[in-house]
Structure 1
Amino acid sequence: MSLFWRIFALNAVVLGTATALLLWAPVTVSVPVLLTEAIILVGGLAVMLVANAALLRLGLSPLARLTKLMTTVDLLRPGQRLPASGGGEVAEVIRTFNAMLERLEQERATSSARALLAQEAERRRIAQELHDEVGQSMTAVLLGLKRAADDAPSPLRAELHEAQEITRESLDEVRRLVRRLRPGVLDDLGLVSALTSLTEDFATHTGLHVTRRFDTDLPALSPEAELVLYRVAQESLTDVARHADAQRVSVALRLADESVVLTVTDDGSGIRTPREGAGIRGMRERALLIGGSLEISPASRTGTRVQLTAPHARSSPDHA
């Protein structure tokens, strides 16, 4: 039944019931109308309006739920659907909207995957150039300064040693940037070693106390899944250093059913605003890349918990 005929039928039921009551009920209307008769008529009208409103709300409630979903749907949180039971125009609109959401989620996941893979390729290229060109050039400069300092007179030797230290610190910074752009330890030694190196470097540069808890029976993951887990941990620690005002950070990696769960928890000021910035949305896009899910919630006492659940039994989607 179409929406028009459903609404027409609802109103017909209400008006027919009211007409039947007027025909068969022993009620008369005087001229002028008595107070008791007016009360009865007004009461009957109120009952009729309430019944009509209730029936219309019942018939149009699927449209209200659809409108609410339209205003709150987020393609980074897939799976939001409305049941489209029954027939009629409303059910067809809901089914069409669900199909549109499915198509948009697939297109968003495909485009995000391409963008992220291109971003990682560019990071790999920049890291390689920094390592091969800038790093080697600075190493050559450092060796030249050492030879010059060995042969220089005493007053100039101190200045050359100072230039050596500045160059060495700059070289260390370049190497740190290379590790952030493309963690070579992730390719060579795996995810646990990469996260260990990441947290140690984070603790050294921020002075925060970092606790690590990694399960020993973790399954083998695809390179895409390992890279996503590493990047989410990296972004979470960066957010802690910038915004959390924390003293302690915990990084955990554990096996749960058919998934590997990464949890980064801090004891900082917690989530201050429900608005998600580019960093969080980027983490959600990375989670979708491997079919995972990201949850950000307040910690048990204070601070924030970032949890990424990455299924390891499923193969990564085809991004060709």
Structure 2
Amino acid sequence: MVLGAATALLLWAPVTVSVPVLVTEAVILVVGMVVMLVANGVLLHWGLAPLGRMTRLMGTVDLLRPGQRLPAPGVGSGSDVSELILTFNAMLERLEHERATSSSQALLAQEAERRRLAQELHDEVGQSMTAILLVLKHAADDAPGPLRENLRQAQEITRESLDEVRRLVRHLRPGALDDLGLVSALTSLTQDFATHTGLTIVRRLDAVLPELDKESELVLYRVAQESLTNAARHADARRIEVGLRSAGEAVVLEISDDGRGIGSAFEGAGIRGMRERALLAGATLDITSVPGAGTRVRLATPAPRKQF
């Protein structure tokens, strides 16, 4: 475009060049060439800038953080770069939808497997160990002194193992969530967690919340479960606050600890699993962490939601 404008200017302008070329004429020609090259470079940079933004986005895009898009070109823009941007945004939209669908199927299959394992542990292992406890009790009642003490110890070990099996069953499939609701399930979860870890858990759970479907409640519960586990295993925390409240037509879960933080660049499988669950529920997950100042996990789940 710049070259065409310069050519037209030379054709129609009353400009002549002497032979030999005068110094002033040479200066004018050189200045004109420089201006043309600079203008051409500026126009190229402006026209190709969207490609640079696209390259940077392609290197950082994360399908677990949906909504990342390039600015759409102006209405009526029909350039090749504009078409490329529109196609790229449409591709991201399709990939996010496919990722959400595959994550939904995987997580639902995972929960189904958790339910199956919990049922088998409860029906098979739990009942068998209960029967063993009864047999040991009867044997201890009829046994002589030294043997009775050994049988009492075997009873105690079996009882502790049965308690652990029941804890695993609750971890795999929280019965309180199905029977008593989200608030009761979180209360039971935090009490059990505090008992086994020795951490101080402060609960701020609103009793009245917008109605949620079962899947959204399960997402909130699993994110709370994973956040508590991360705080205990990786953050060296001593105190954890668990909050659940309503915010308009949404339910907000907030979990913060006083640990060492996780660092902005680190995301393990647990955090990515939380992001997948948030994506499944159409929720917004924010994780903020400052080294040495703890971590805060905030999950906002819309309510009510359609079944997925």
Return the TM-score normalized by structure 1.
0.87
Instruction: Report if the CA contact (8 A) 1:299-1:305 is conserved.
Output: no
Are the equivalent residues in 2 in contact too, given 1:18–1:48 (CA < 8 A)?
A: no
For 1:162-173, list aligned pairs within 5 A: 162-173=153-164
Distance 1:286 1:106, change over 3 A: same
* Cα 1:262/1:11, change in 2 over 3 Å: farther
Deviation at 1:61, TM superposition (A): 1.4
Distance 1:219 1:114, change over 3 A: same
CA distance in 1, matches of 2:217, 2:73: 38
Aligned to 2:184: 193
1:140 aligns with 2:128: no
Amino acid at match of 2:301: A
Contact 2:210 2:249 in 1 (8 A): no
1:316 aligns with 2:304: no
Q: Flag the 1:133–1:17 CA change in 2: closer, same or farther, 3 A.
A: same
Partner of 2:73: 84
- Residue 231 of structure 2 corresponds to residue 243 of structure 1: no
Q: CA deviation at 1:183?
A: 0.3
State the partner residue of 1:6. none
RMSD of aligned alpha carbons:
2.5
2:183 and 2:207 in contact (8 A); partners too? no
CA contact (8 A) 1:291 1:316 kept: no
Q: Distance in 2 between matches of 1:228 and 1:311?
A: 12
Classify 1:56/1:233 alpha carbon distance in 2 versus 1 (closer, same or farther; 3 Å): same
Residue of structure 1 in register with 2:277 after alignment: 286
Matched with 2:267 is 276
How much has 1:25 moved relative to structure 2?
A: 7.2
- Shift, 1:113, TM fit: 0.5
Query: 2:50 maps to what in 1?
Result: 62
CA-to-aligned-CA distance 1:155-193 (integer Å, 9 cap, x gap) = 111111111111111111100000000000100000000
Is 1:254–2:245 an aligned residue pair? yes
1:127 maps onto 2:118 in alignment:
yes
Cα separation, partners in 2 of 1:44 and 1:314, compared to 1, 3 Å: same
* Structure 1 Cα separation of the partners of residues 231 and 19 of structure 2: 77
CA distance in structure 1 between the partners assigned to 2:57 and 2:2 by the alignment: 26
1:218 aligned residue: 209
**Aligned-partner SS, 1:260:** strand
Q: Is the 8 A contact 1:10 1:56 kept in 2?
A: no
Identity %: 67
What's the CA shift for 1:45? 4.4
Checking the alignment, whether the CA contact within 8 Å between 1:185 and 1:194 is kept in structure 2 is yes
Separation in structure 2 between the aligned mates of residue 91 and residue 252 of structure 1, nearest angstrom: 46
TM-superposed CA distance for 1:18, in Å, is 8.2
Deviates more, 1:118-127 or 1:142-151: 142-151
1:75 Cα offset (Å) = 1.1
Q: In structure 2, do the counterparts of structure 1 residues 278 and 19 end up closer, same or farther at CA, with 3 Å as the change threshold?
A: farther
- The match for 2:4 among 7, 12, 16 is 12
TM-score after normalising by structure 2: 0.90
